[in-house]
């Protein structure tokens, strides 16, 4: 929870942090452990093109905020650290991260806020961890992947997390995991195509399942501008009006319910952000950076203000999403 005001200025809701003691990642992590090589961060044998301190040192995040004109940064784990496997080790990993994140955001004058994690292999354990998260000062929600196994937000364990987060008043940030597929093995396509497709899958299932109406208090944000979703929502709306298997569970057209969701500004282009603003509404656009990854927006506040709905609207939307006072 956040019981004290956060700092003034642009709020970056999408940035990552992981303490060095958790670089080993939880059981079942798809890419192997993270580690440092001469100050650079690796995921297994894959260089991430990230200085290790940028991911693990809160002082580095604050220095980057000062450089970029960001007033508040919301930290969450990198997506390959999501605990997907059942068992005590995964639960312990999530507990350790949440405790460490709570310690990092404390005493930072409201400039750092946190989104915790839950173990996604056991619904009862996820509920316990969400209850704990709700009581940690400076943590205002949870980050989750868009898909787990063969299911998305309309099926457990993710559906269960959404319901509990809504009950507890916690914000939910949905971040893709860059899941590998053979046809995307070249040209970084697992990121360039895979991430947007994962996000669009989650948006579509949330809207077409009717879950967005079943959970009217849900505050949920999709990073990377919702991936492919802005370019597809018209297609989904056409299908909703034409096919019984598409509209069976959703009372509203996806083009309508799309405006209940939040999206960040990491679209990598002004025209793309303009389309998102038109479809989602100015009150649902929040600034994001994706710090410290190589696909991050290097000047997030400037880009969001110049191409988005303006500083005042961005601030209101971010605070509404996080559930903190304006």
Summarised one tens digit per residue, pLDDT across range 195-224 is: 999 999 999 999 999 999 999 999 999 999
Residues 295 and 92: their CA atoms lie apart, in Å, by: 30
User: Residues with Cβ < 8 Å from 63, sequence gap 6 or more?
Assistant: none
Q: Which residue has the higher pLDDT, 252 or 178?
A: 252
Of 3, 6, 9, nearest to 302 (Cα)? 9
Encoded tokens for 276: 């998102």
CATH code of 173's domain: 3.20.20.140
Does residue 3 form part of some domain? no
Residues 28 and 48: their CA atoms lie apart, in Å, by: 20
Bridging pattern class, strands 40-43 and 34-37: antiparallel
Q: How far is CA 240 from the centre of its chain?
A: 27
E strand or H helix at 35? strand 34-37
pLDDT at 109 over 90: no
Q: What is the DSSP string of 82-148?
A: ---S-SHHHHHHHHHHHHHHHHHHTTSTTSEEEEE---TT-HHHHHHHHHHHHTSTTEEEEEE-S-B
Does residue 5 form part of some domain? no
CB 162 within 8 A of CB 215: yes
The pLDDT-based confidence of 257 (bands split at 50, 70, 90) is very high
Q: What is the pLDDT of residue 28?
A: 80
pLDDT at 153 over 70: yes
Q: What is the pLDDT of residue 178?
A: 87
**Parent domain of 93:** 11-322
Q: Facing residues of 11 across strands?
A: 72
Encoded tokens for 224: 């990377």
Residues 155 and 205: their CA atoms lie apart, in Å, by: 9
Does residue 4 form part of some domain? no
Residues 242-271: what's their mean pLDDT? 97
Does residue 6 form part of some domain? no
Q: What is the pLDDT of residue 278?
A: 97
Of 232, 168, 240, nearest to 200 (Cα)? 232
Q: How many domains does the chain contain in total?
A: 1
pLDDT at 325 over 80: no
| Interior angle at CA 285, CA 212 and CA 278, nearest 5 | 85
- Least confident range of 33-47, 156-170, 202-216, 265-279: 33-47
Ramachandran angles phi, psi of 322, nearest 5°: -75, -20
Does residue 184 form part of some domain? yes
Does residue 188 form part of some domain? yes
Share of the chain above pLDDT 70, in %: 100
Does residue 171 form part of some domain? yes
- Taking CA atoms, 30 is separated from 177, 197, 274, in Å, by 9, 18, 35
Q: What is the pLDDT of residue 326?
A: 60
Share of the chain above pLDDT 90, in %: 88
Residues 294-311: what's their mean pLDDT? 95
The pLDDT-based confidence of 181 (bands split at 50, 70, 90) is confident
pLDDT in tens, 51-64: 999 999 999 999 99
Does residue 309 form part of some domain? yes
Residues 234-243: what's their mean pLDDT? 98
Residues 226-251: what's their mean pLDDT? 97
Bridging pattern class, strands 220-222 and 72-76: unpaired
Q: What is the pLDDT of residue 2?
A: 81
């Amino acid at each position: 929870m956040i019981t004290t005001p956060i700092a003034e200025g642009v709020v970056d809701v999408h940035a990552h942090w992981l303490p060095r003691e958790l670089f080993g990642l939880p059981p079942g992590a798809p890419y192997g452990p993270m580690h440092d090589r001469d100050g650079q961060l690796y995921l297994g044998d894959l260089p991430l093109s990230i200085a290790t301190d940028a991911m693990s040192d809160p002082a580095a995040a604050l220095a980057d905020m000062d450089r970029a004109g960001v007033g508040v940064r919301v930290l969450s784990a990198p997506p390959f650290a999501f605990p997907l496997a059942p068992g005590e080790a995964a639960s312990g990993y999530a507990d350790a991260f949440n405790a460490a994140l709570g310690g990092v955001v404390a005493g930072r004058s409201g400039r750092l806020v946190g989104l915790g994690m839950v173990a996604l292999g056991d619904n009862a354990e996820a509920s316990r961890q969400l209850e704990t998260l709700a009581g940690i000062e400076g943590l205002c929600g949870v980050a989750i992947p868009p898909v787990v196994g063969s299911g998305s937000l309309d099926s457990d364990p993710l559906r269960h997390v959404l319901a509990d987060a809504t009950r507890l008043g916690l914000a939910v940030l949905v971040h893709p995991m860059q899941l590998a597929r053979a046809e995307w093995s070249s040209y970084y396509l697992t990121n360039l195509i895979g991430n947007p497709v994962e996000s669009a899958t989650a948006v579509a299932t949330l809207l077409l399942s009717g879950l967005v109406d079943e959970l009217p208090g849900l505050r949920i944000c999709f990073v990377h501008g919702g991936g492919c979703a802005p370019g597809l929502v018209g297609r989904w709306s056409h299908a909703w009006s034409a096919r019984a298997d598409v509209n069976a569970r959703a009372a509203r057209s996806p083009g309508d319910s799309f405006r209940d969701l939040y999206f960040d500004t990491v679209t990598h282009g002004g025209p793309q952000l303009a389309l998102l603003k038109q479809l989602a509404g100015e009150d649902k656009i929040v600034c994001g950076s994706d710090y410290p990854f190589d696909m991050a927006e290097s000047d997030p506040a400037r880009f969001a203000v110049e191409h988005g709905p303006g500083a005042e609207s961005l601030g209101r939307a971010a605070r509404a999403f996080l559930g903190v006072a304006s």
